Chains A and B, each alone.
Chain A
Amino acid sequence: MIIVKGINTVFQTGSAFLIYLIGKKLFSIKTSFILSVVFILAVTVNVKFWPGHIMLLSLCPFFIFIYYLFDFTKNNLKISLFLSSFFLSLSFLLSTNFIFFTLIYPIMLYYIYRNSLKTLYFSLISLFGFLIPLAFFLFYLAINNAFNDWYWWSVEWASIYSSHYSLLRKIWSFLDSFRIVWQWTPLLIFSFTGFFLLMKEKTWSLNKLLIIVVFFISLISRLMFKGAERYSLYLLPVFILLLGVFLEKKIVQLKKNISSF
């Protein structure tokens, strides 16, 4: 049992380390280290986050996806694009709501190339990466003749199950989630301040666009679920990124104030 529970510990450490690596690409080393520690604290402060459930475990491949996404924006390597979509697909196999993040690719690629053909070409590379893990799963279903069973559980029964939660109830649960995860209040305050600081900036950059897109997609994907505490973990990656923005901007401002003083 302890070894099974150890999966959770390994994935949590992996996620925190990936935040450090992502932070190194976007922010200073100190900020990236602070972000990784904040992540560990954020997943510890509420007992409901402790078990190794889907939401916590799916964050690890999701952070790899984010890492390669920012790697692509920095180095423009096709392999980074391919790997990002590959790991997004693994996240999708762990938690279906990550499908919304595929919207990032056409937006990001069009912003970079401003050319429909190039956007389409690079989107196909990302699509190829996304389809590989899915193809393995479909192959598993095909050889075991379990496609109809999968359809019944994942489509028919899942829709019966989810129809018990109307849209209004989901919106209420979304708003209520900020109350039930009250331990995150300081993180939320700093992250939303980071978001407003980012929006206040007049210049646009690719990283700014990506953080804003991830922010809105995270909100949408959280909206799809009920009100249990663990679903708030879907918002954690973007809050961590926005905290990084806040720390960078405030530290720079603080240094300016000190030097002018």
Chain B
Amino acid sequence: MKFLSKIKLIFGQKYLATPWIVFGFLFLLTLSFKLIYLFDFAIRSPDEFFYIQGAKSLLDGKVLYKDFGEIKPPGIFFLYFFFQRFLDMKTS
């Protein structure tokens, strides 16, 4: 019964109405479900490989669609580019 009342307290309106608590919970939930994906170092999707390579090319100063091409829209390459740049992951 104590356990049930604790669960009720956690999922009560007070905690659910606090955005940062909800965000933290969702982040931990996502992270726990993503552990295998995050630590499995192989790239399982060929698309993901294209995005990473595209972002690396952009970091090397190459021009999207001119120096390398894909039918995929530009946003995905720029997104990976910005993240790689932001996280200073530029490889030689």
Contact = CB atoms under 8 A, between A and B. Distances in A.
A229 to B, nearest CB: 11
Given A2-B39, A154-B71, A144 B52 contact: no
B65 A30 contact: no
Given A33-B16, A57-B76, A52 B51 contact: yes
B31 interface: yes
- Is the interface on chain A under 10, 10 to 19, 20 to 34, or 35 or more residues? 35 or more
Interface residues of B, number: 44
Contact of A94 (B65, B79, B84): B79
Contact of A20 (B22, B51, B70, B71): B22
Contacts of B16: 29-30, 32-33
A158 interface: yes
Given A4-B83, A44-B33, A90 B48 contact: no
B52 A4 contact: yes
Q: Is the interface of B mostly helix, strand, loop or mixed?
A: helix
B45 interface: yes
A50 B65 contact: no
Nearest to B48: A51
B30 A9 contact: yes
Given A51-B45, A146-B64, 19 more contacts: A1-B41, A2-B39, A4-B83, A9-B38, A20-B19, A30-B13, A40-B26, A40-B33, A44-B33, A44-B34, A53-B45, A58-B75, A93-B73, A140-B64, A149-B65, A150-B74, A154-B65, A154-B71, A161-B71
Minimum-distance CB pairs A-B, first 10? A93-B75, A51-B45, A94-B75, A146-B66, A149-B65, A158-B71, A44-B33, A144-B63, A150-B65, A153-B69
22 contacts: A4-B83, A4-B84, A9-B30, A17-B23, A21-B19, A29-B16, A29-B17, A30-B16, A33-B11, A33-B16, A51-B48, A52-B51, A53-B47, A53-B51, A93-B74, A94-B73, A94-B75, A144-B63, A150-B64, A154-B71, A157-B71, A158-B71
Interface of B: 11, 13, 16-17, 19, 22-23, 26-27, 29-31, 33-34, 37-39, 41, 43-45, 47-48, 51-52, 63-66, 69-76, 78-80, 83-84, 87, 89
Interface of A: 1-9, 12-13, 16-17, 20-21, 29-30, 32-33, 36-37, 40-41, 44, 47, 50-54, 57-58, 90, 92-96, 137, 140-141, 144-146, 149-150, 152-154, 157-158, 161
